[in-house]
Structure 1
Amino acid sequence: MRHVDLNADLGEEVTDDAALLAVVTSANVACGYHAGSPAIMRAVCAEAAVRGVCVGAQVSYADRANFGRVALDVRRSVLREQVADQVGTLSVIAGEEGTTVRYVKPHGALYHRTMDDEEQALAVLEGSRDLPVLGMSGRLLSLAAERGRRVWHEGFPDRGYAEDGRLLPRDRPGALVTDGARIAERAVELAATVDSVCVHGDHPGAVEHARAVRRALLAAGHALRGLV
């Protein structure tokens, strides 16, 4: 039996957080820079604590207008402090609600930028204490591993992949997979090679997709466990 995590983005005010928390084993919580607020972070952390869902800091560029999906040229020192602020804010709230921040995962443009940009990747690592890192193969995970940080690789059953193994840009044909049965099937395929399967919380039907993925993973003989 292989353990695998099921994660989703929460606290972004675009889906039913409570319903997703009944399905996932890890929650990437928006820390206010691309979406969310202290009140929303608190609600997610409180429910996660009750359900035993692991909490992670989903850090982003300071860009609420574009939902953190536009790459910004931010100096390493500035980005480091922005990441530290996000992780620190969520950590305080999580502690008050009976849980802790277990890992860090960049969001949107920062996620993709840190796969190649060493300076931006280092800023994320420097600003996120010694937290484990969740993401796809690239500079961020490589640098984290070199520094003795734990890393977890994730896959996206609801997103299309390019030939180089990267995610297709959202404006490309095939970038978004919307059929629930196909998403569940792809999740089982991915679970053989990754530590965590991610269902995007901002996709239409996110809760139903997550439920379908959970059922498929369990039916395939996987044990679901959070990122610990």
Structure 2
Amino acid sequence: MAGFGLTFSEYLSNNRADIVVRVQQHALLSLYTILCAAVIGVGLAILVHRRRTAANFCVATAAVGFTLPSVAVFGILFSLVGGNLLAVFPPLVMYAVLPILRNSVVGLQSVDEDLLDAARGMGMNRFRRLWQVELPTAWPVILAGLRVSAQLTVGIVTIAAFVVNMGLGYYGYASLDNLGSANTGNEALVCVLFVALIALAFDALFVVVRRLTMPRGIRV
């Protein structure tokens, strides 16, 4: 078949070392992006959720950033800082922030006012109300935003290989650069298969986190 010079198993065997390295790069860059976006998104939501105008402005700003074409943004930063992580990490975080920020704001704003009044009546200060009442109540919604952000990030990290030679996107672009040549299909399949496996691994991780951090009575 055109594009498959070797069987897929042979291609995997011949390129095992490089594939393993690129899977690790892809997973780690995705993880660091999600962690950084979580700090920014949840932290910003905590700061602005009580002021609806400020919260709406932050979410709208993040949404505008989310609409920017990733290839163009990567290309602009590449022209400024060269082909290194500085050209891809800030845009990756920018794209990952929106689902986390939006869900965090929604979750925190949806906390029942009666719960907050009861907490005030018990003498809780603002920090204790946030830590012991608001964040635990909003956590399922926040976690859902983190989960969406993780899936999004794993996909966009693939595009980042357009400017930085790391991660599984290399195989996707290689297959496009060599359309019709031997092993084009294998390169594309490696990209698709292992990106999907990383996404599934992140999703499974969030399922575990959800089970460990949510009371049994409110699990869905």
Q: Normalising by structure 2, report the TM-score.
A: 0.25
Q: Normalising by structure 1, report the TM-score.
A: 0.24
Greater relative CO, 1 or 2 (CA 8 Å, sep 6+)? 2
Question: Higher strand fraction: Structure 1 or Structure 2?
Answer: 1
Question: Higher helix fraction: Structure 1 or Structure 2?
Answer: 2
